[in-house]
Structure formats: C-alpha cells, structure tokens
Amino acid sequence: MRNHPLVRAFHHPPTGSLAYVASDRGTGRCAVIDPVLGFDRLSGEVDTAFADSIADYLLAEGLTADWVIDTHPHADHLSAVAYLGGHLGALTATGAGVTMVQEIWASLYNLPGLRTAKHWDRLLSGGERLDLGETVIEVIDSPGHTAASVTLLIGDSAFVHDTMFMPDLGTARTDFPGGDARALYGAIQRLLALPDGTRLFTGHDYPPESRAAAWESDIARQRETNIHLRGGQTEAAFVHVRQERDRSLHLPELMLLAMQVNLRGGRLPEAEADGQIYLKLPLNRFARGTGASS
C-alpha cells in the first residue's frame, strides 16, 4: 500500500494558482510544489508574502523541506522556487524538458542567456525517484501543456499541474510554444492508468459561479466525469476538442513577463547598469485571443 502523505494546499486567488506542501507523516520531511511569487502588473512590484506563508506553515508544523519543485515553467504567475529554495535550504528542481522550452523562449525574447540548466539543483526525468523521508517522489513525464511538464507522484497523491483540472473544467490548453495536444492525451492516459483511488491535485482552478474553488479529485472521478475524457474519448476526438477550445483562448495576463523569470528558476533578471531590474516585452509575436483563460 502506498504512503498517504499529508497535503496542504495554498490557493493564490489573484492567479487561480495552487501551491502545495506534501509531507511524509513519519519524518516531517516535505516537498514544496509550485510556489508563487507575488507580482503586481500595474506597478511592477514583486513580493514574497504568499511564499512566506508557506514557509510559516513549515515552521509552525515542524516540517523540513527537502525539495522545492516546479512541475513546469508557469505562464500565469512568477515562480517562487528560487526564493523558497534559498530561504528553506532545500534543493530545487523542475522537469528536464525545461531546456527545450528555454530554447524556444530565448529566441522569442532575444535572450540567449536563458539557455542554461544552472538555475536548478536537479532536472527531473520520467522514472526518477527522490527520497522524501519514508516516502518516495516518483517523476512521471507529462508533456503536452508544455514540453517540460512532469507529474509528481508522492505516495497515493499525484500533483498533476496543468494536465487535468477539476472534472467540470476539463484539461489544460496546449497552444503555448512547445505545447502538443497529442502529447497531452498520452500523458493523461498514463495518469488514468494509476489506481482509481489515487488523489489528484491540480495546479489551477477557475471555478464557475456555481461552486467554490477546488483542487482535489481522484483517478476514478476524472475518468468518469472529466468533460474532456469521459466516455473513453479517443485520441483523435480529444485532440479535436482541445485544439478547438485552444483557438478561443486569450494569453494568460502575465505570460510574456512570467516566462523570462520562470525559465530562470524563479530568478529575476540581473540588474542593469542603473541598478534596476527590467523585464522585456516582445511586441507583435502573439495574436490576440478571444476567449477565457483555461
């Protein structure tokens, strides 16, 4: 029987993002997953309040962070992986496919310095296992939303980032540079092969007015009720639905700013000669979208 880690979710309403602390009950060793760095787009102010609330939780509960991990390079918030890794004295990691995503965005930003893995302590590939006290973190490659996406299976709990949302919202978009609807279908099929009772924790929720924000489901519920998967959806049908949906979506508000931070492991660019830090904004590289954000 798989271990049953203690999972604490941290909801970030401004971006609809979820960060998690998954801890081994016997030893108090834990992993922090997908932490968020605060950012006000209008003023350009960066803050660590949300990440600090995670650190405060660890202190209050007597937990020790071994890992701070991004499941993929996020497009809708700035990552706090570098900040919390340093603050907590933990190792940092993300999916090994991040180097492919860096290659794409280095050209879009004209920033060749993005092409480096030095921003993380470890790049994770499918099949790897990381110790977490008496529990193991198993890495499952989950490309599709991005080329770098990984799922973290910790005991009976899978942190599936933007692969699947809550069943009434479906699955993740695949229209970002490096995304692939067929790859996403394959990743989802690998996840649906996990035991029915496996808990799934998603990376975002954009709830309709009929319900409050939520982030936990399980394999059986996803297979039976996810609006993009139920009824044994074929690959061709899934790809058609996903691509049609993607054509209606607008870019996440922070994407063009966030990616140049998140592809540095959550590090801001180096200060320029005047001592100030700047983010670049590529103009006329993306078409204006028309629809919702997920």
Q: What is the CATH number of the domain that holds 103?
A: 3.60.15.10
Domain with 54, as residue range(s), is 6-262
| R_g (Cα) of the chain, nearest Å | 18
Whether residue 278 lies inside any domain: the answer is no
CA dihedral 8, 168, 187, 106 (to 10 degrees): -80
Asked if residue 84 has pLDDT above 50, the reply is yes
Average pLDDT over residues 14-31: 97
Whether residue 112 lies inside any domain: the answer is yes
Quote the pLDDT of residue 116.
83
- The number of distinct structural domains making up the chain is 1
Whether residue 16 lies inside any domain: the answer is yes
Quote the pLDDT of residue 115.
82
pLDDT tens digits along 126-171:
999 999 999 999 999 999 999 999 999 999 999 998 999 999 999 9
Q: Do the Cβ atoms of 172 and 165 come closer than 8 Å?
A: yes
Whether residue 293 lies inside any domain: the answer is no
Whether residue 290 lies inside any domain: the answer is no
Average pLDDT over residues 86-93: 98
Asked if residue 291 has pLDDT above 90, the reply is no
Higher pLDDT, 1 or 86: 86
Whether residue 277 lies inside any domain: the answer is no
Average pLDDT over residues 48-59: 98
Query: Average per-residue pLDDT in the chain?
Result: 94
Quote the pLDDT of residue 288.
63
Whether residue 178 lies inside any domain: the answer is yes
Whether residue 280 lies inside any domain: the answer is no
pTM value surpassing 0.85: yes
pLDDT band with cut points at 50, 70 and 90 for residue 292: very low
